[in-house]
Structure 1
Amino acid sequence: MARRSAPALLPPSLRAGLGLIAALAALVVVVLGVLYAGHSEPGRVDRWIVEPTADSVRPPWRRVALATDFLGEPAGAAMLVVAAVAGCLLLRWPRAAVLVGAGAALTVGTVKLLKPLVGRTIHGDGNLSYPSGHTAFLTAFALVVALIATGRLGLGRTAAMSLVLAAALVAGAAMGWAQVALSAHYPTDVLGGWCTALAVVPATAWLVDRMADRLVDRTANAGPLEHR
């Protein structure tokens, strides 16, 4: 029987829990997308949060918001992904390196697909806002790092789930706050971006595991034939 070349990125103990969370997150993304399709104004929940806080942060918190926002910009996001991929390759974790790249790419790609479909804008300038790509990316990156850590540390189900969800919550809350504080997104855009990452990353981790395991099996089965 072929052995794994590396710990699973989505351990069996987390598949049911994260699968359910991913399904619920996908449902939230769809529901919010339908509710705010074609809108150019904040909704009731958005007004409750946005009106007193939007674009109102002052130094030093504004600098914190801008620094956080940079991590979701193309340059900042590329810096994080390249550093993580390089670290995984240096540690000889190719499966983890693939997840870093695939998780970020598929999450951002999903956001780019959803934005024109929903057609929600902000500031009346045609700027598509739903879901928040910045929030989706940073949440996805945090989820990927947490999943890699759970496998490498051999954490139990409770500890692993706690780490993964805490990472997603902290990253999503930090970037979400920055986006709302800088008036770049509505709060419901942020929620949609957060849920997009929660829906995409577990599915991506499962897919990478399946592909990697099949490659290991094929390599193991081909080995004896080469020596005949």
Structure 2
Amino acid sequence: MTGRPTPTVLPPSLRVRLGLIAALSTLAVIVLGVLYAGHSRPGKVDGWIQPAVEGVRPPWRNVALAADFWGEPAGAAMLVVAAVAGCLLLRRPRAAGLIVAGVGMTVATTTLLKSLVGRTIHGDNLSYPSGHTAFATALALMVALLATGLLGLGRTAGTLLVLAAALVAGAAMGWAQAALGAHYPTDVLGGWCTALTVIPATAWLVDRMADWLVDRMAAAARRERR
């Protein structure tokens, strides 16, 4: 006898759609990475957008700095701890595991891509993709997946919730990064797409590993009863 102690973190109704979104996002990350590899100046798209958002003054600069804090190590750690605690209080250990694994994979992926692409801003600061934007989007995606499962949302409503959460979080953090001059707008887009690539894949892996562990435990229990 086998069973799952908790619901899946990647709802079955969303797997195909999020898989397609992840595939398209992967393509976008690769294309942008190739286009801006080794660059140290804004591209054409950056030139259109950056003047409109960069150099904001108070009070909007204070808002941008506050958003930026939640992508820094201290702020990000507090958000992750709060999210994990919330998952455990809701008795969703798989979701807690996804938060930890998803954040870890997102940080690792953006760090690797920055080294591979080699795009810089303000000297030697690696900029593509934006790690702050990727983190904010990833966390929003994982919380939205949890909410989808808790509320029992269907395919359309679940997809809309997940994409809306990713868009709002990514846009807020992305605006802050561009407004503060920490990243080019295309770095922000790359970070957003990185999260859309990493989180669905990580959620699928967490479910597979959890199911495998449950099956192994059930098999061990059967052997003990013999």
Normalised TM-score (structure 2): 0.97
- State the secondary structure of the residue aligned to 1:184: coil
Aligned with 2:210 (options 202, 209, 212): 212
| Conserved 8 A contact 1:28-1:195 | yes
CA contact (8 A) 2:53 2:175 kept: no
* Superposition pairs of residues 9-28 of structure 1, within 5 angstroms: 9-28=9-28
- Per-residue CA deviations over 1:53-76 (Å, capped at 9, x if unaligned) read 312x11111111111111110111
- How is 1:1-228 mapped onto 2 (pairs within 5 angstroms)? 1-55=1-55, 57-123=56-122, 125-228=123-226
User: Hey, what's the Cα distance between the residues in 2 that align with 1:194 and 1:51?
Assistant: 21
Deviates more, 1:60-69 or 1:197-206: 60-69
- Give the letter aligned to residue 184 of structure 2: Y
Q: Distance in 2 between matches of 1:70 and 1:223?
A: 47
Question: Structure 2: any 5+ residue segments left out of the alignment?
Answer: none
Stretches of 4+ moved more than 3 A in 1?
none
Contact 1:176 1:187 in 2 (8 A): yes
Distance 1:24 1:90 in 2: 35
Letter in 2 for 1:183: G
Tell me the secondary structure at the aligned position of residue 83 of structure 1.
helix
Aligned-residue offset at 1:33: 0.3
For 1:62, the aligned partner's letter is R
RMSD over aligned Cα atoms? 1.0
> Normalising by the residue count of structure 1, what TM-score does the alignment of the two structures yield?
0.96
Measure how far apart 1:22 and its partner are. 0.2
SS in 1 for 2:128: coil
CA distance in 1, matches of 2:219, 2:47: 60
1:108 deviation in Å? 0.8
Quick check: 31-40 or 145-154, which moved more?
A: 145-154
- AA matched with 1:127: N
Cα distance in structure 2, aligned partners of 1:54 and 1:121: 17
Q: Distance in 2 between matches of 1:18 and 1:53?
A: 30
Between 89-98 and 129-138, the greater mean CA deviation after superposition: 89-98
Query: Which has the larger displacement, 21-30 or 218-227?
Result: 218-227
